[in-house]
Amino acid sequence: MKHNIEQLAAAYLATLAKTEERRRYWNEESKAFILQYLTNIAAQYPLPWKAGANETVEGLEAVFIALEHSPSGIAERTPFNLVHKLKAGAFLSFSQNRNGQVVIWMSFPFIDGLQDETPKKETFETVEPEEIDEALIIRNIEKFLIELAQWENDAIDTIGFVRK
């Protein structure tokens, strides 16, 4: 009986080695590069945003640029007070995946207390850590800003408005 166990085992070991190489490159090169680049962008352009890193889970770290929370302009009137609703800021994340690749995605803003569901998320692309350069970061920041502007412009479809 002929089988491919030897070749398949070798392919699996190569896959494990590739994951370790991706993680090494992320930790030694990509993570710091992205954080520094996003920090520079946040300082250069006058938006209420900041760059940061989430390193809570080793092997699944993320580097992001996030908009600060802000007033939404919406308030709920109760018999006793007026409760102003906060617009939770959006963020663009460069997140390490379980296989060491980097997933670039965004979380949209949302109005706290008006939406039952979790904030909308959109994946832009998945890349190898060594593919991350200025052009890739800029391309994804541009996508992020386009999506934010569209979200702000299309917000008339949220709960509480009737389209005629």
User: Which pairing describes strands 49-54 and 70-77: parallel, antiparallel, or unpaired?
Assistant: unpaired
| Sequence letter at residue 47 | L
Start-to-end CA span in the chain (Å)? 71
Is the separation of the CB atoms in 147 and 108 below 8 Å? Answer: yes
List per-residue pLDDT tens for the chain, 164 residues long.
778 999 999 999 999 999 999 999 999 999 999 999 999 999 999 999 999 999 999 989 999 999 987 666 677 788 888 877 777 889 999 999 999 999 999 999 888 777 656 788 999 999 999 999 999 999 999 999 999 999 888 855 545 543 33
Number of domains in the chain: 1
> Is 117 a member of any domain?
yes
- Is 68 domain-assigned? yes
Q: From residue 45, how far is each of 10, 32, 42, 118, 136 by CA, in Å?
A: 49, 20, 6, 29, 18
Structure tokens belonging to residue 23:
């993680």
Q: What is the pTM assigned to this prediction?
A: 0.84
Is residue 163 included in any domain, yes or no? no
Spatial separation of the C-alpha atoms in residues 73 and 85, rounded to whole Å:
7
Within a domain: 39: yes
Domain encompassing residue 14: 5-157
Residue 140: Cβ-neighbour burial (10 angstroms; 0-12, 13-18, 19+): buried
